[in-house]
């Protein structure tokens, strides 16, 4: 295994992590207690971007290559701008930690795709040539992403549920 096959699994897993966070931010913006028209609109956009990131990550993993690179770069930029806009539109119920985690993961995806686009432009290589994904790289990437995504999802829920007095209610699952 070389470094290229090890790194190739990171964009798909990063897209999954970013997709989960974007969808959670969007759902919180849509259903939050203080949601208005602007936050609901941004939330709907984030849910769509989150689902698109999940689908893109699956396609990359299944095909073994980065798909739709230019559209992906547009999606990364849209995800960064929309999640940042949500912080300004609904600041008291948007987790800055979740937005930062999503931004980090989106930047990983964007950097990988931009490097691929740039290499393809110079070398003229076949963009359809499938390359194997490293299982070790996939496992390490998934572990790192889990460490980033899990706290971000928890912070998203806390931000949506936070009360006016700054406390987060304890949600129990007993009947």
Q: pLDDT tens digits, the chain, 175 residues: what are they?
A: 455 555 567 888 899 999 999 999 999 999 987 889 999 999 999 999 999 999 999 998 888 788 999 999 999 999 999 999 999 999 988 999 999 999 999 999 999 999 988 887 665 555 445 566 677 777 887 888 889 999 999 888 888 888 777 777 776 777 6
- Nearest alpha-carbon partner for 94 in 13, 33, 148: 33
Q: Structure pTM?
A: 0.85
Predicted local distance difference test score (pLDDT) of residue 10? 83
Q: How far is the C-alpha of 155 from the C-alpha of 95, rounded, in Å? A: 6
User: Would you list the domain boundaries of the chain?
Assistant: 10-161
Predicted local distance difference test score (pLDDT) of residue 132? 62
Q: Which two tokens stand for residue 132?
A: 């194997």
Predicted local distance difference test score (pLDDT) of residue 62? 84
Asked if 65 and 132 touch (Cβ cutoff 8 Å), the reply is no
Predicted local distance difference test score (pLDDT) of residue 169? 74
DSSP-assigned letters across all residues of 134-173:
PHHHHHHHHHHHHHHHHHHHHHHHHHHH--TTS--PPPP-
């Amino acid at each position: 295994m070389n470094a290229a096959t090890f790194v190739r699994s990171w964009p798909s897993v990063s897209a999954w992590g970013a997709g989960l966070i974007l969808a959670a931010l969007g759902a919180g913006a849509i259903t939050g207690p203080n949601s208005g028209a602007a936050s609901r609109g941004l939330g709907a956009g984030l849910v769509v971007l989150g689902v698109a990131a999940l689908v893109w990550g699956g396609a990359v993993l299944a095909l073994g290559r980065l798909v739709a690179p230019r559209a992906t770069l547009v999606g990364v930029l849209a995800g960064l701008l929309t999640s940042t806009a949500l912080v300004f539109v609904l600041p008291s119920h948007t987790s800055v930690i979740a937005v930062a985690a999503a931004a980090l993961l989106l930047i990983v995806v964007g950097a990988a795709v931009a490097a691929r686009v740039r290499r393809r432009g110079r070398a003229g290589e076949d963009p359809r040539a499938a390359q194997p994904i490293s299982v070790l790289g996939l496992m390490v990437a998934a572990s790192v992403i889990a460490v980033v995504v899990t706290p971000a999802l928890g912070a998203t829920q806390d931000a949506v549920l936070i009360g006016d007095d700054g406390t987060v209610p304890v949600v129990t699952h007993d009947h």
